[in-house]
Structure 1
Amino acid sequence: MSSPDPRAQSTLKIYLRLLGYVRPYAGMFVMSIVGFLIFASAQPILAYILKYFVDGLSNPEASLFPNNPYLGHLQLLQAVPLMIVIIAVWQGIGSFIGNYLLAKVSLGLIHDLRVALFNKLLALPSRYYDNHNSGHIISRITFNVTMVTGAATDAIKVVFREGLTVVFLFISLVWMNWKLTLVMLAILPLIALMVSSSSKKFRKQSKRIQSAMGDVTHVASETVQGFRVVRSFGGEEYEENRFRVASQSNTDRQLKMNRTGSVYTPMLQLVTYTGMAIVMFLVLYLRGDSSAGELVAYITMAGLLPKPIRQLSEVSSTIQKGVAGAESIFEQLDEDNEVDQGTVNIAKVSGRLEVQHLSFTYPGTEQPVLDDISFVVEAGQMVALVGRSGSGKSTLAALVPRFYQHAHGQILLDDTPIQDFTLRNLRQHIALVNQQVTLFNDTVANNIAYGDLAGAPLEDIQAAAQQAYADEFIVKMPNGYHTLVGENGVLLSGGQRQRLAIARALLKNAPVLILDEATSALDTESERHIQDALDSVMNNRTTLVIAHRLSTIEKADLILVMDQGRIVERGTHAQLLEMNGYYARLHARQFKDDDAVPHSVEVC
């Protein structure tokens, strides 16, 4: 005896897990099935009424219930039309209950899946975003979920409505003539074999379609976000070709799936109608003592079977699309959350930061990015990290708020390992300003007072903006602090976006401040004003400055010179110049022409 197909088991497992999301809507789900039961029960009754119609052609005054003393007067002339109307009403009620309630269940299920998927994105570690492009991530929430909608809505509706219709029709056919019905049952194994074969193809093709759709979304997303670069460097033709290739790939895969369905459906229909032809031959050949009405009713019921059987067979492609979509969704939902095993929650820390023998290698790579890093920053002090690109400065900054998990060495905040803090509590003590500013399509005030800062008084927001030298351009905007900034602050200049990000960090008022090239997008005048603000803000705050400008580097309590993941020199600005080593050479090379504009060049 052969073992079950593992792929079939996987499909069933995924689909059952998908249906597990229906549990909160169990009541409506059961009622929708009752509605489809009502609808399906009307099909054979409607066909059986034809028996009375045909019999009534020869004697319309005949009684419908000749042996019933109460209904014996009801003639076929009145009864047949009346029964047709009653059955139509009965069928309509069942159809409404089934379709409407199942739609509510399905839409609720899709909403729950989308929310679960989006919430999972907020809990995934940084390495997940490093390894997956944004187009495929967004495609899961949009396109893949619509595939699940088909499996959860259309498929279930067809399975129950048409499936119950087939069951009722078969029961009625067996009751009327079981011998003829056995002939029709003989074709079922062939139908099952065809459905099984096509299901495997639909599943494989659906996964390829979803992957291709992710590529389409990715290309479109990149082009929209980088439209200025595209236009500046004449990339229109390149992007047109790139999008055309991605879209054509998706189209070709869609066509291939449609071709499979277009071949499969007529073949199944041929098999079904061949069985029908054999049955009709036997009815004509072996009519026996059955009345004309009974034969017409039987043939009509048998004739009603191909349509629901065909729809049941076609639902396989819908289910396989949904299962493929659900599989990709569950893959993301099953990803491990950001590691958070900490239990320490401290209301306020002084900000003393100590790094002990820290080494770090990105997952999936072999070359260490940080190698045996050690230093101490006392509360309120400022440490500056300088070095060429790729020396590990930004990685070190990312490890402090645990955007990545280090395995070797320790990072201590107030003598407590940062792994012991809960992630939320740790990050409440840290304010971060990156070179790449992220703003949301919201008001200026809401972008400054974001997340835990939401609901901050407008006076505090304005004070932070004034410190960041942002108030001077905010008050000139159409609606001041209530002006929408556009997607990622598209309506603002680079310097303005950077100042809003600094204002956000100032409003947070955290004891640890990380500035990762925080003033790189500012002009000289704006930088000078912000530098004055940062000088006052850095008081009583532990500040980690990465590749900052000369004025900040000179004032740092400690400068760490990094190269290839190691600290090659350390000391104050004056001490490092006296060493006449790596830092002195870097300083001489980058600031040899600095007499005219001493504060306009970055250390990188």
Structure 2
Amino acid sequence: MGGPPLVKSLDFKGSGKRLLGQLRPQRAALTGALLLTVASVALTVTGPRVLGHATDLLLAGLVGRHLPSGVTEQQAAEQLRAHGQGGLADLIGTLPLVPGHGIDFTAVGTVLLYATLIYAAAALFGFLQARLVTTAVQGTVFRMREQVEEKLARLPLSYFDKQQRGEVLSRATNDIDNIQQTLQQSLSQIVTSVLTVLGVLAMMFWITPLLAAVALATVPLSVIVATRVGKRAQPQFVKQWSSTGKLNGHVEEMYTGHSLVRVFGRQKESAERFREQNDALYEAGFKAQAISGLIQPAMTFVGNLNYVLIAVVGGLQVASGALSVGEVQAFIQYSRQFSQPLTQIAALANLVQSGVASAERVFELLDAEEQTPDPEPSAAPARTVGRVAFEDVSFRYDEDKPLIEGLSLTVEPGQTVAIVGPTGAGKTTLVNLLMRFYETRSGRITLDGTDIATVGREELRSRIGMVLQDTWLFGGTIAENIAYGAPDGTPHEKVVEAARATHVDRFVRTLPDGYDSVVDDEGGSVSVGEKQLITIARAFLAEPAILVLDEATSSVDTRTEVLIQQAMARLRTGRTSFVIAHRLSTIRDADLILVMESGALVEQGTHDTLLAADGAYARLYAAQFAEAVVEAG
């Protein structure tokens, strides 16, 4: 039975490193993106310094036109000090002015042109960098989806028996989509932010080490805030994506079984369970976002505090003549550029944590234990005759619950073998072992004398046709569904021939589009019994050497069942057939009937000999006969 996935503590460092490792094949694109990022950041960091020079030119013109012409800058400053204007004299020493001259608009225009070109080039490099990052991320996610798809094909049936389909689907879709969003939004932003911090820090120290030290004073506080909040948010992101998987599993089950839910009046119970799981997802998601959402306002507060400190100290520096107004203006811009990336990195922390939580769930799927690899080369017999032997076979689904112990039996080519017994006796398990859906714990199963463990699974299953009690149709036409069991390019006439042999043709002719009628697993225009007939036709078209029918007529009405029994008797000719039956009246003509109880073979023989033995089979038959009499009454 499927169960909720275990919520493991997140190995943030290990999973994050592994996620980055997925980007390794995109090294060329990422290297190009990094170089473009460096160029873009370098130009962006240069911009405020250039604009600060333009500010100094404008202020120099405004001050210079009020000074007497024909004197030097030093002389003008001495005259101002002589008149008690020492502060203005200090300001003159920081400006590129010419006494008696106004604003040099040509020089200002040239500086502004340089600034425009710098920012335009930075924007162009940023655009190209974003394109390369997008290419790298999409290629990485594309490859991860391929890895998941290939992994699902290598997982044993036992994995899916223990997992909800919606949970597996959530890992293959929602979690990978979340990884894509995380990489797309955070990868370039984090690199850009880190480079911006380093570049801005270098420029700030170049302008004035004192103000740079003031700007750095708030960094430890920023780190403490981001770290403390991030640690509290991380477990909530793990719960959020685990709850998403559980909710998807419930929705998938309720959607596929909505008819059954309505028949038994379980809508209220289903809605209540959905509400509980939705509330759990809401609570986990709310806590994750609420806690991580504290990072940005906290970082903004720290950034504003840094801005105030720089403005005060910078003003004092200008007043003392240590810095020009343009330099302080550039520094204030740098302080914003310095705090903004830190805030962005902190704000991205919740996104990164969510993405790494999803990555761990995907990696858990990729690390799941796979089925044993097929032997190389395969030892399949050239021609399958159909002799099947179970030799002292033992098997159990759970280690502490034995099911089949020391089972031995031989089925000769062309025989029809019926397997009967109460629920849980191990009937379907025999078929699962024959198909290698599960591997035996001990003993072996042979096909024409060859151990099936030495035969490739695909090659083995290509020689076996199987019809399950639970029908499955994919979205497509009836003809396509029947032809699913045959090689590509099978003529339509063969499809029709198989349909006639299994009495599918009789109801297909009544449909408006005939064999081109579109159906899916939900049924649509065909009944449950007709869906079963289509799956039987699919198996017969494959012309297998061995037929496995697991309660194949359980959903068919009595009249159709008689027709199918006749068709199967004709098509079983020359084929070894295993029939798992619940209604014993359908297997009277079987060559061999195996009676199983608690995983053990308790009786075997024909219908008449087993009735005469008055054992387990006779008790089953009598019980069904009495049940039929009660129903008839």
Do they superpose with TM above 0.5? yes
What amino acid sits opposite 1:39 in the alignment?
A: S
Question: Partner residue of 1:295?
Answer: 328
Question: Partner residue of 2:85?
Answer: none
Q: TM-score, normalized by length of structure 1?
A: 0.91
* Counterpart secondary structure, 2:401: coil
What amino acid sits opposite 1:320 in the alignment?
A: Q
Q: Is the 8 A contact 1:348 1:429 kept in 2?
A: no
- C-alpha distance in 1, partners of 2:472/2:282? 34
* Counterpart secondary structure, 1:539: coil
- C-alpha distance in 1, partners of 2:568/2:373? 32
* Counterpart secondary structure, 1:591: helix
Question: Partner residue of 2:466?
Answer: 432
Q: 1:183 to 1:452 in 2, by over 3 A?
A: farther
Q: Deviations over 1:15-40 (max 9, x none)?
A: 23222332333322222223322332
What amino acid sits opposite 2:223 in the alignment?
A: A
Question: Partner residue of 1:479?
Answer: 513
Question: Partner residue of 1:55?
Answer: 56
* Structure 1 position 133 matched with structure 2 position 164: yes
User: Which of 383, 387, 401 lines up with 2:417 in the alignment?
Assistant: 383
Question: Partner residue of 2:351?
Answer: 318
Q: 1:291 to 1:378 in 2, by over 3 A?
A: same
* Counterpart secondary structure, 1:146: helix
Q: Deviations over 1:221-256 (max 9, x none)?
A: 111101111222222222222212211211111111
Question: Partner residue of 1:336?
Answer: 369
Question: Partner residue of 2:604?
Answer: 570
Question: Partner residue of 1:541?
Answer: 575
- C-alpha distance in 1, partners of 2:336/2:19? 35
Residue 593 of structure 1, CA deviation: 7.4
- C-alpha distance in 2, partners of 1:413/1:552? 26
* Counterpart secondary structure, 1:385: strand
Residue 480 of structure 1, CA deviation: 2.2
* Counterpart secondary structure, 1:44: helix
Residue 95 of structure 1, CA deviation: 2.2
- C-alpha distance in 2, partners of 1:351/1:408? 22
- C-alpha distance in 1, partners of 2:156/2:545? 24
What amino acid sits opposite 2:389 in the alignment?
A: E
Q: Is the 8 A contact 1:21 1:109 kept in 2?
A: yes
* Structure 1 position 449 matched with structure 2 position 483: yes
User: Which of 424, 437, 451 lines up with 1:417 in the alignment?
Assistant: 451
* Counterpart secondary structure, 1:447: helix
Larger radius of gyration: 2
Q: 1:65 to 1:128 in 2, by over 3 A?
A: farther
Question: Partner residue of 2:67?
Answer: none
Q: Deviations over 1:522-572 (max 9, x none)?
A: 112211111111001111111111115445421111111111111111111
User: Which of 229, 240, 244 lines up with 2:271 in the alignment?
Assistant: 240
More deviation, 260-269/427-436: 260-269
Q: Is the 8 A contact 1:498 1:519 kept in 2?
A: yes
* Structure 1 position 23 matched with structure 2 position 58: no
What amino acid sits opposite 1:297 in the alignment?
A: A
Q: Is the 8 A contact 1:346 1:425 kept in 2?
A: no
Question: Partner residue of 2:100?
Answer: none
- C-alpha distance in 2, partners of 1:550/1:297? 91
Question: Partner residue of 1:520?
Answer: 554
Q: Is the 8 A contact 1:60 1:77 kept in 2?
A: no
How large is the Cα RMSD of the aligned pairs? 2.5
More deviation, 241-250/23-32: 23-32
- C-alpha distance in 1, partners of 2:537/2:579? 16
Mapping for residues 574-593 of structure 1, pairs under 5 Å: 574-592=608-626
Question: Partner residue of 2:76?
Answer: none
What amino acid sits opposite 1:112 in the alignment?
A: R
- C-alpha distance in 2, partners of 1:592/1:323? 61
List runs of 5+ in structure 1 lacking aligned partners.
Answer: 1-6, 67-72
Q: Deviations over 1:86-124 (max 9, x none)?
A: 123212202211222212221222222122212211221
What amino acid sits opposite 1:169 in the alignment?
A: V
Q: Is the 8 A contact 2:472 2:521 kept in 1?
A: no
Residue 48 of structure 1, CA deviation: 1.4
* Structure 1 position 367 matched with structure 2 position 401: yes
Question: Partner residue of 1:254?
Answer: 285
* Counterpart secondary structure, 2:294: helix
List runs of 5+ in structure 2 lacking aligned partners.
Answer: 1-8, 65-94, 98-103
Q: 1:177 to 1:59 in 2, by over 3 A?
A: closer
- C-alpha distance in 2, partners of 1:366/1:280? 73
- C-alpha distance in 2, partners of 1:157/1:263? 23
Mapping for residues 459-498 of structure 1, pairs under 5 Å: 459-498=493-532
- C-alpha distance in 1, partners of 2:486/2:211? 73
* Counterpart secondary structure, 1:570: strand
More deviation, 194-203/128-137: 194-203
- C-alpha distance in 2, partners of 1:279/1:78? 29
Residue 470 of structure 1, CA deviation: 0.6
- C-alpha distance in 1, partners of 2:150/2:268? 37
Question: Partner residue of 2:297?
Answer: 266
Q: Deviations over 1:166-190 (max 9, x none)?
A: 2221111111112321232233333
Q: 1:451 to 1:163 in 2, by over 3 A?
A: farther
Q: Is the 8 A contact 1:60 1:75 kept in 2?
A: no
Q: 1:451 to 1:178 in 2, by over 3 A?
A: farther
Q: Deviations over 1:491-530 (max 9, x none)?
A: 4211111111101110111111111100111112211111
